[in-house]
Amino acid sequence: MAIEPASDDIRLGPFRVVADEERVARYRREAGFADTLEKIVPVAFPAVWMTTSEIGEAIRAALAAENAIAVHESQDFRYCAPLRVGESYDLTVSMRREASPPRLVVNAFVATQGGEARLHAEALLRIVPRPAALEGAL
């Protein structure tokens, strides 16, 4: 599993993130987990860490020169080992542009505070012209 960003990517972080017990429990409910799975951090949970203002601003900055929005095209989570409720991790993000088709590729790397890799997540964001109806909305 590729676990390091390429050298020419835009890099963000590392950010200290936590699999907060209360937020994990709420996320499990929203994803439809049974109560018997209460100790699990959902595989998709790290997506919540990608909505922080620093990462959102970096994505907006990457699109600043064009009247465009990013549409979530695909998402991939690859784990070396599961996350644990209550534990803190280091999140590093890298981004790169692809020209054809126009995309922003956002990679997230999560490791323990001791440096052990836990997961690599990749989001493909398709860059599309901003619909007129969205002017000022996003």
Partner 1 sequence: MSGLRLPCVGERLPDRRIGPFDAAALEAYAAVSGDDNPIHLDERLARAVGFRAPPVHGMKLLAAFEPMLLAWRRDLFLARLSGKFVQPVTRGEAVTLTARVLRASEQEGVFLRLLASGESRAPTIVGEALMTLPKRVGGR
User: How many Cβ atoms are within 10 Å of 132's Cβ, its own excluded?
Assistant: 7
SS3 31: helix
The DSSP output letter for 40 is B
Binding to partner 1 (CB under 8 A): which residues in 37-66?
37, 39-40, 42-45, 47-48, 51-52
In whole angstroms, how close is the CB of 119 to partner 1 at the nearest point? 9
Binds partner 1 (CB under 8 A): choice among 34, 64, 65, 99: 34
Toward partner 1, which CB reaches closer, 16 or 78?
A: 78
Instruction: Read off the tokens for 122.
Output: 């990749």
Does residue 81 touch partner 1 according to CB under 8 A?
A: yes
Torsion of CA 97, 117, 72, 33, to 10 degrees: 180
Strands 103-112 and 10-18: unpaired
Which positions lie near partner 1, rule CB under 8 A?
23, 26-27, 30-34, 37, 39-40, 42-45, 47-48, 51-52, 72-82, 84, 116, 118, 131, 133-134, 137-138
